Structure 1
């Protein structure tokens, strides 16, 4: 589907559940809908009677690269709202983990009429988590453009992957105005600068007042620096009437998965997500 001048790739699972409510399911980072660990959770939700929308957000997977908005999550929220409206599946359930949790919460804040329930886990926050994301996702592009212009962007490993998955992205990069691109990147980077009154990156706390639907929060692990337990607790306070539950996976699941990923190069950070299916289905079934 073309949204805001770019193609967005999506997939719907559970076509046989014709009467089942839709769940828009979003992973973290700049990972695609095909990242290991996401589909087992989606299938478990389908087996529970739901239909699941999986999508490659802009700058992820096979979708077109796009650069606009107050932050990348603001852009993704606008895209998801347009996708839900374009498919005619709203209002629906919104669910996501890690960066997908932030995207899901922001979509609910900005487009409350499109959401019936909200489920989030692995919520990013804190100085370390925010600092790491800004350094990982934004700074390399800034340095590349300042050093070599658009040619530098074409050498960034992440963007090389986007071009490999979607060759049309090369022309989209080559058409960028570097000055405007840098303005957007600095705006996106600023979203990851920890500030008073912003529990999650780039989102003022008072925007949580817009979330009025039933919400389930699966808290972060005890020593998870990327998705702090404290951030989950603060979000549960900000979303009035929300339900906070302990993680259905081990407290150190994220750290152990990170160690395995570093040692073997095999992506396994989302492998535990399927363990949340029973709790999610119980919450949605009420």
Structure 2
């Protein structure tokens, strides 16, 4: 793993392949770039003469923590734009899923100079999907800080691995002012609240309409309440140059991967199935 210094942060990344077109893969959760399925998809894309950036977002993997910005995805989008600039890799095709799709869209909206295209799947949305995300990401940290203190935050399952990999992160959490931390977590949690005129949190529909790069949007599953079909279809309708396509798996893909994540290798293990559609679209839409 290599590291880049970006806006005072140490960001871990891997660069696979040496082609002219750059892809960036961004998952959701706090999954690191080594999560099964991500490197395999990167290698499948690189085999077609591309270079692929895998990166650990701030607050994930081996990268530093950062507790700034109106929302965590917006902070990570700003970091991605700075990383692409620092590494001289833009403009790039941003490929993302779950909250990674939000990060990719926010990067395109606020930093269009580093983006040449978008590929999006498992797009988080809907009232239940967004409220569950807010709860998963922030409720444990808020509860631990409020009722016990920052030592309890450092011991949480979501945070402890990040601190074990990076001693700077441990010091930052333990030295964090509790009230300032609570204010950030609650601001970030509130950013996920569904709002009229926003298919994606923090991205007003009028701003989505201004994203003019080619986009490939994979339709969500009708059975998936976390990444609703309606969200994927509405987003494809907002993006001026989007193509809405069927994914290379069945309607219950996310639910099945979630149910089998311990026995079958994790949520992302079948993502390499996306590679042929991604490569074909890029050749046609991006030249």
TM-score norm. by structure 1 comes to 0.95
In the other structure, the counterpart of 2:95 is 95
Q: Is the 8 A contact 1:62 1:162 kept in 2?
A: yes
Q: Is the 8 A contact 1:212 1:240 kept in 2?
A: yes
Report the Cα distance in structure 1 between the residues aligned to 2:126 and 2:265, rounded to whole angstroms.
24
Q: How does 1:100-119 map to 2 (within 5 A)?
A: 100-119=100-119
Q: Is the 8 A contact 2:67 2:181 kept in 1?
A: yes
1:36-85 CA distance string (max 9 Å, x none): 11111111100111000110000110111111111110000010000000
Structure 1 residue runs without a partner (length 5+)? none
Q: How does 1:114-263 map to 2 (within 5 A)?
A: 114-261=114-261
TM-score norm. by structure 2 comes to 0.94
In the other structure, the counterpart of 2:278 is 280
1:182-231 CA distance string (max 9 Å, x none): 11111110111112111112322222023111111011112111111010
Cα displacement (A) at 1:266: 5.6
Report the Cα distance in structure 2 between the residues aligned to 1:257 and 1:53, rounded to whole angstroms.
24
Report the Cα distance in structure 1 between the residues aligned to 2:45 and 2:144, rounded to whole angstroms.
41
Shift in alpha-carbon separation, 1:228–1:157, aligned structure 2, 3 A:
same
Q: Is the 8 A contact 2:209 2:239 kept in 1?
A: yes
Aligned counterpart for 1:2 among listed residues 1, 5, 12: 5
Q: Which secondary structure does the structure 2 equivalent of 1:170 belong to?
A: helix
Q: Is the 8 A contact 1:122 1:218 kept in 2?
A: yes
Cα displacement (A) at 1:241: 2.4
Report the Cα distance in structure 2 between the residues aligned to 1:214 and 1:179, rounded to whole angstroms.
43
1:151-198 CA distance string (max 9 Å, x none): 121121111111122222111112212222111111110111112111
Q: Is the 8 A contact 1:224 1:254 kept in 2?
A: yes
Cα displacement (A) at 1:27: 1.3
Q: Is the 8 A contact 2:149 2:178 kept in 1?
A: yes
Report the Cα distance in structure 1 between the residues aligned to 2:170 and 2:84, rounded to whole angstroms.
27
Q: Is the 8 A contact 1:95 1:118 kept in 2?
A: yes
Number of residue pairs the alignment of both structures matches: 281
Report the Cα distance in structure 1 between the residues aligned to 2:82 and 2:135, rounded to whole angstroms.
29
Report the Cα distance in structure 2 between the residues aligned to 1:210 and 1:24, rounded to whole angstroms.
21
Structure 2 residue runs without a partner (length 5+)? none
RMSD: 1.3
Q: Which secondary structure does the structure 2 equivalent of 1:32 belong to?
A: coil
Shift in alpha-carbon separation, 1:160–1:232, aligned structure 2, 3 A:
same
Q: Is the 8 A contact 1:118 1:213 kept in 2?
A: yes
1:268 aligns with 2:260: no
Q: Which secondary structure does the structure 2 equivalent of 1:199 belong to?
A: coil
Q: Is the 8 A contact 2:6 2:86 kept in 1?
A: no
Q: Which secondary structure does the structure 2 equivalent of 1:58 belong to?
A: coil
In the other structure, the counterpart of 1:41 is 41
Cα displacement (A) at 1:2: 2.0
Report the Cα distance in structure 2 between the residues aligned to 1:40 and 1:249, rounded to whole angstroms.
17
